[in-house]
Amino acid sequence: MNSEASYADWIAVDWGTSRVRAWAMKNDVPIAEAHSDQGMGTLAKDAFESALLALIDPWLGVRQTKVVACGMVGARQGWAEAAYSDVPCTPVSENHTRPPVKDTRIDVHILPGLCQRKPADVMRGEETQIAGYLAKYPDFDGVICLPGTHTKWAQVSAGEVVSFRTFMTGEMFALLSKSSVLRHSLTKGWDEETFLQAVSDGLSRPEAMASRFFSIRAESLLSALDGASATARLSGWLLGAELAAARAYWLGQRVALIGNATLSKHYATALGAQGVATETADATKVTLAGLFAAYEHIKEQVS
């Protein structure tokens, strides 16, 4: 194999808080991938360039290579702040930030996140996934839900993000199941019927949420509630409460799900039980499509 063949046209980077992934790209096709745990949260400002080079060095040739990055790398405490774009706006804009670099082989562009003034909200990274989804379905008009640690619900119309809302459901599930008293009662299994019942309970009486959590502990002490049911119940209650608060986003809407496969499946099941049909997209594919859309903008600006 000719080593020339692995040189990248450009490099795509998804740089989150706890992890960074990079792809060597030929046009819109990834030809190599590398990742590390050097997420934004682990790095001082002057450590980003070397963390990046450690991943992409083998892909760099003599010609300068454009690197297009999205995610928390553009946060205030990241490599260089990429100021938010205010919604309503297109998910990918020209407001990218170019951090100073020492290695002349790379030209780094960090994409901005989106913000909403009222109710106050922000995203960094998901806007690139939305852009990727819209690159594939330019006429999409509806809601994109991005399940994750901080799930985002975004209203999309005419190629723009109109409004969005973030739910900490994933982080709350992780905290309650791993760090609270409920950790003694939960195991790794799953019970789909219990989950759907809990979604329904959470959705129909979200105001009772605060009184529900401890009953998991009490039932496991008093009547040996099994750990798989407990896990499905906590997850269902939290998701039901999210769906209650996000009702305006999904009721009577076309909903696209972008995210981790297992989590997206739970959202699809829960929404399906409410009569909402969903379509799903692979998170990595739409991230790369969004970064490619941004790369094409950048190329045009330069040429």
Residues near its own copies (CB under 8 A): 76, 84, 115-117, 119-122, 150, 165-169, 171-172, 175-176, 179-181, 206-211, 213-215, 217-219, 221-223, 238, 241-242, 244-246
Q: Rounded to the nearest whole angstrom, what is the least distance from the CB of residue 146 to its own copies in the complex?
A: 13
* Comparison of 190 and 213: residue with beta carbon closer to its own copies: 213
C-beta closer to its own copies: residue 32 or 168 = 168
**Beta strands 20-26 and 65-70: pairing type?**
unpaired
47: which 2 tokens?
Answer: 């450590």
* Smallest separation, CB 188 to its own copies (Å): 20
Distance CA(260)–CA(76), nearest Å, equals 26
CB of 282 to its own copies, least distance (A): 25
Q: Which residue, 19 or 165, has its beta carbon nearer to its own copies?
A: 165
Which whole-number Å values give the CA distances from 56 to 2, 9, 10, in the listed order?
18, 12, 10
Query: What is the smallest separation between the CB atom of 209 and its own copies, expressed in angstroms?
Result: 7
Shortest CB 189 distance to its own copies, Å: 20
Tell me the C-alpha distance between 197 and 233, whole Å.
8
Which of 80, 8, 10, 3 lies closest to 49 in space, CA to CA? 80
Task: Give CA–CA dist 176/187, Å, rounded.
Answer: 12
Q: Which is nearer to its own copies, 132 or 148 (CB)?
A: 148
